[in-house]
Structure 1
Amino acid sequence: MGDMTTIVTGSSGLLGSALVEALRAEGTRVVRLVRREPQGADEAFWNPARGVLDPAAVEGAEAVVHLAGAGIGDRRWSDDFKREVTRSRVEGTRTLVKALTQAGARPGALLSGSAIGFYGDTGDREVDETAPPGDGFLAREVVVPWEAETEPAREAGIRVALLRTGLVLSGEGGMLPRILPVFKMGLGAPLGSGGQYWSWISVDDWVEAVLRVLRDPEISGPVNVTAPEPVTNAEFTRTLARAVHRPVMPLAVPGFVLRAAIGGFAEEGVLTGQRVLPRRLLEAGHTFRHMRLGDALAAVL
C-alpha cells in the first residue's frame, strides 16, 4: 500500500463523501471500507457487526478516518433504535481498532468520529475539549463508550484524534434540507425556549478541519469540530429566515409539541444546547472559512 493511502469508513455519508472527494482532489489514494462486495482496488470489505476486517486491508496506510455509524436523527428514538445507534458506533470502532492493532505496519493515525453530544446540556456555559462528559443518553450511552473503543489504538502507539462534530450545515444532507421547506414557507420558528446554543460548522470547514487534523502530527485526543461562534437556536432561526428572505413566526414551537412529534431526539438533539468552542483547532492555528453563521448559510444554500 502506498505511503499516501487514507482509509475511510462511512464514506457514502454526507461527511464521508465530502472528505473522500477532497482527499482525492489533493492526490491522496483513498480506500473505502464497504459492507458489500468490493467494486475495485479502492474498496475493501468489512462487517462491523460481525467483527470482520482483515488487518491486511489497513496495513501500511498513512491514516484511517472512521465515520461509520447509524444516523442519530434519522428515526424516532425507540429503545431498539437507541441500541442500534450505540451498537453501530461501538462495534464498528472495536472492529476497526482490532484490525489496526493487529496490522504488521500499523497506520500512523486514527481520526475517529465522535460528537459534541459528549458534553450533554451545557446551558450558556462555553466548553472546550477539557470539559468532562455530561449526562443523558448521547453523552453516557453513545459518545463515552464509542470514544473508549479507540483506547487500544492509542496504547499501540497510533495517534488518535476524536472528531467531536457539531451541527454540520450542508445543502446536500443533514438537518438543513429537512427544515428548509418550512422556512421557505415563512413558518420557521424558534424551538422550545430558543435559548439553547447550537454549535454548527459548514461542511467545507468540517472537511478542512479534518484535513488539518490528518496532516498535523501534534493534534491528538478530543478535537471539537465546530465553528468558533455558536449561536442560540433563536439566532439560528432568525439568520436562516433572513437567508431565505422570509419572516420568522412570532411564536416558538413548544417543547412538548417537539417531544410528541420526534420523541427522544427532541430532548437531546434539539431542546438541549451545547456552547462548544474549537480550542484545539484554534490553538493549532487553524483558520475557518465561515466564522459567522450568516456567511456559512449563504455559502451552503
Structure 2
Amino acid sequence: MKILITGGSGLIGSELIKQLITHEHEIVVLTRSEKRTREKLNHLNHYPLELISSLDNLHDLNHFDAVINLAGEPIADRRWTDTQKQVISQSRWQITEKLVELIHASSSPPSVFISGSAVGFYGDQQDHPIDESLQVQSNEFSHLVCVTWENIARKAESESTRVCLLRTGVVLSADGGALPKMLLPYRFGCGGPIGSGNQYLPWIHIQDMVQGILFLLVTDYAHGPFNLCAPHPVPNKIFSKTLAKTLHRPHVMFVPEWAIRLIMGESAALLLDSTRAKPKKLTELGFKFKYSHLEPALKQILQTLP
C-alpha cells in the first residue's frame, strides 16, 4: 500500500510508521517540520520515507491506497484559554477538511480514510459502561472538538472510500504521552488518586493502539467510530494503586478536585471526567488485545524505562 500519514512524528504516528515499514508499505508523511520528524524517525533512516510539508501541491489522492490522519495540537499541554481552544480545534479540523477535499477530487480515491478522534467525544458518563452506539448531546469542549472533527471526516465516505474514526483513550507508552508525566510524583513517593478517584480512565497500550489501526487498515468492512481503548477501563484510584504497586512506591497522597480545577481550569475535565468506554466494535470484528488488563500493560512498559 501507499499510505499518507499526518501526525507521523507524534507518539502514535511514529510507532505506527515503524510497524508499517515492516510490512513494506510505501509511506508519505505530512509534517510541519521535516527536520524534527527526521530526528524523531532517525532509526528509520535506512527506509525511504517521503516527507512533505504541505498538501497544497497535491491536487488529488489518486496514488494513495490509504490515508491515516493523526495530526493535532496536544490537548493537555496547556490551559484551555480561548486562544488555545482555537489552536486545538483548528489543528484538527482544517487538515481533515483539506484531506476530505482531496479525496473528493480523486477519480480513484484511497480505499480507506482513518481519522483521529478521542473518547473525549463522550464527555463525563460517570460509571456507566458505554460503547460506540452512545448518542451524546453536550456543550463540553472535548465533545465539541471531537464531534466536529468526526463530522468533517465522515464527509469522505463513499462507495469507494470507507471512513474509520479513532476514539482514542489514554495511550500508555514509555516514549511519551500521559504516563511519563504520571510517574514523577510516584518516584518521589507521593503518588495517589486524583479527585474522588472514582472516575473511569479508558487506557490503551501503545502496541494495541498501533495494532488496532493496522487491523482497521486491512479490514475492508470496518467503518464508523471505534473506541481505541482496552476492554477493562479502571477507576483512577485503581489505576494509581496499580501504578504504585508496579513501581514499588507508596500510594498515600491524593490530589483534591478543587486543586486540579485551580491548576488546570477547564482542562481539568481531562483528569476528572469519567469515561468507562468499551471497544465493542473492535472486539466484535475479531480484534484481539495483547494487553487487556492494566497491570501486565504497566509492567511491560515500565520494564523498558531506565
Structure 1 equivalent of residue 19 of structure 2: 22
| Deviation by residue 1:226-261 (Cα, 9 ceiling, x = unmatched) | 000000000000000011100101x42111101111
Structure 1 residue 7 displacement after superposition:
0.9
Is residue 2:204 matched to residue 1:196? no
Select between 134-143 and 279-288 the one with higher mean Cα deviation.
Answer: 134-143
Query: What secondary structure, in the 3-state scheme, does the structure 1 residue paired with 2:156 have?
Result: helix
Correspondence list, 1:52-201, <5 A: 52=56, 54-56=58-60, 58-155=61-158, 157-201=160-204
Measure the CA separation in 2 of the matches of 1:8 and 1:205.
19
Deviations 1:87-138 (A, max 9, x none): 1111111011111111232110000000011111111101101001252433
**Which of 244, 249, 264 matches 1:246?**
249
Aligned to 1:286: 287
Superposed CA deviations along residues 58-81 of structure 1, whole A, max 9, x for unmatched, are 322111100001000011111100
C-alpha contact 1:126 1:275 (8 A) present in aligned 2: yes
Give the Å deviation of 1:265: 1.2
1:139, distance to aligned residue in structure 2 (A) = 4.2
Deviation above 4 Å: which 4+ runs of structure 1?
36-41
Over 3 Å counting, the alpha-carbon distance change for 1:293 and 1:199 in structure 2 is same
| 1:121 and 1:135 in contact (8 A); partners too | no
Partner of 1:259: 261
What is the aligned residue count? 291
Counterpart selection for 1:226 from 216, 226, 229 = 229
| Equivalent-residue separation in structure 1 for 2:212 and 2:154 (angstroms) | 22
**Following the alignment from structure 1 to structure 2, what is the Cα–Cα distance between the partners of residues 93 and 65?**
10
C-alpha distance 195-28 of structure 1, shift in aligned 2 (>3 A): same
Q: Check conservation: 1:226, 1:277, Cα contact below 8 A.
A: yes
Match of 1:298 in 2: 299
Counterparts of 1:55 and 1:245 in 2: how far apart (Å)? 55
Q: In structure 2, how many angstroms separate the alpha carbons of the residues matched to 1:287 and 1:220?
A: 18
The aligned amino acid for 1:285 is: G
**1:53 to partner: Cα distance:** 5.5
What CA distance in whole angstroms lies between the structure 1 residues aligned with 2:34 and 2:119? 34
The worse-fitting range, judged by mean Cα deviation, of 155-164 and 34-43 is 34-43
Contact 1:118 1:134 in 2 (8 A): no
How many Å apart are 1:37 and its aligned residue? 6.5
Q: Is the 2:202–2:230 contact (alpha carbons within 8 Å) kept by the matching residues of 1? A: yes
| Contiguous gaps of at least 5 residues in structure 1 | none
8 Å CA contact 1:164–1:223 kept in 2: the answer is: yes
Q: What SS does structure 2 have at the residue aligned with 1:263?
A: helix
* In the alignment, structure 1 residue 217 sits paired with structure 2 residue 217: no
Identity, in percent, stands at 37
Match of 2:9 among 5, 9, 12: 12
**Are the equivalent residues in 2 in contact too, given 1:45–1:53 (CA < 8 A)?**
no
Structure 1 residues 26 and 109 mapped into 2: Cα distance closer, same or farther (>3 Å)? same
Residue identity in the other structure for 1:54? L
Identify unmatched segments of 5+ residues in structure 2: 39-47
